[in-house]
Structure 1
């Protein structure tokens, strides 16, 4: 019963988001990549292949980020604002099932979106005979998916207790600081302020270190720059454990809310 109820919630989220013109992003991405392939050789002769790889992976990441933040923050908040959450929690559905089902549903959308964008990207590269390290690109895409799954959990957490606009801004801030956290720590160590150094280390410990899940640069230059298999496994586990922790906090906050 637990699995079936959660599956129904996840399926409804998946179908609702897919119908909400999300798949139009695939067509937009294909158009952008065709323009990039046509125009970049004219302005970046000699380095166009690396730039096309960079632009393609960055575009996939950006489009996935838009969906994760804007859709993720509204998953719970929209139900609360429309009062439809009262109907859902009145049924024999626990708040844990509700939160986890929502997260799994949007994660499934993210898997389809990133998979489709990556397939279009790789097909275009092969069509244009642009050399690229396939294994590295696929690994980068997999870790990109793990990053988006984590950000969906962040967006849902903020969406539980604040407005959609504020939740969107806070989630974007977490994404930005998460990619800069290692640099912030280094800057804190160079600074002569003990309080700033403590603040930098606190941010690093509290906020997710999203650079652990960023393999785009390594994918462009091949397997030689990739971390070891052990480090890759540890980074993947880090992302999954952090996601589980965020979902646990979200369930706790949601359970304490009065509707």
Structure 2
């Protein structure tokens, strides 16, 4: 990585430095035995295909697809939470970053490149898992609404961008283990922030309503990026195009804000 970064003068190649950092982060994560998760996912699909039909009274196609999407999200969530945070901490502990920042590469470029590499691994995992799900479903005679499925995966990719940026944000100021648990907590709270806001509206407590409103405004509303039910039941259940565009823009903006905060904190961190 160091050789790649120093082969070209940095002042006229910022995006090359970002690309080199991203590609190295991508390869680094692949060495973390990430491919084992693909094997686990394939096993879940095959086992579910065998046990669901006799237990679900004809509803196994929808249950299979729901399980396939839920498993995909959970597995990639753990990669975003644990691998992303460990990747940054490992470079700090091994003093690799001290060497890198003495080279002509800024901390912002370094963190942005690492984000792209980590997110790239998650996107690649989504592609492989999707192909596996489609293949196993075809073997079981299960049809899929590919349009709504792909749209659901696109929004899942945005959700993973938010979680990857959040993981790097937390890793920029705390240990990898704490950062991973903070990321998991953000995922849980983000999926229920809208429910929490609605609960606050039904309770006769101004304090709870205020807390619920603040949490809703601060935490990402990840339920806006959840289209698993729509993928199961098809395009007819999708929100209108305007709502989809706004939700997609929301995901992009939130990921950018988290990444910007991560870069700002990381630039001030003493290494």
Range that drifts further, 27-36 or 6-15: 27-36
Alignment match, 2:61: 49
Alignment match, 1:198: 210
Q: What is the Cα deviation at residue 247 of structure 1?
A: 0.9
1:1-259 superposed matches below 5 A:
1-259=13-271
Say whether the 8 Å CA contact 1:5–1:97 is kept in structure 2.
yes
> If each structure's helix is expressed as a fraction of its own residues, which one has the higher value?
1
Which 4+ residue blocks in structure 1 deviate beyond 6 angstroms? none
Describe the superposition over 1:70-128 as per-residue Cα deviations: whole angstroms up to 9, x where unpaired: 11112322222222211111111111101100000011111110110011101111222
**RMSD across aligned C-alpha pairs, in angstroms?**
1.0
Say whether the 8 Å CA contact 1:14–1:106 is kept in structure 2.
yes
d(CA) in 2 for partners of 1:174, 1:42:
37
Is the partner of 1:44 in helix, strand or coil?
Answer: coil
Q: Please, what TM-score do these two structures have when normalized by structure 2?
A: 0.93
Q: What is the Cα deviation at residue 165 of structure 1?
A: 1.3
Range that drifts further, 73-82 or 100-109: 73-82
Q: Which runs of 5+ in 2 are unaligned?
A: 1-12
Describe the superposition over 1:51-83 as per-residue Cα deviations: whole angstroms up to 9, x where unpaired: 111111111111111111111112322222222
d(CA) in 2 for partners of 1:204, 1:123:
39
The size of the alignment, in residue pairs, is: 259
Say whether the 8 Å CA contact 2:82–2:177 is kept in structure 1.
no
Q: What is the Cα deviation at residue 25 of structure 1?
A: 1.5
d(CA) in 2 for partners of 1:79, 1:14:
14
Is the partner of 1:254 in helix, strand or coil?
Answer: helix
d(CA) in 2 for partners of 1:258, 1:20:
27
Q: Which runs of 5+ in 1 are unaligned?
A: none
Q: What is the Cα deviation at residue 251 of structure 1?
A: 0.9
d(CA) in 2 for partners of 1:20, 1:222:
36
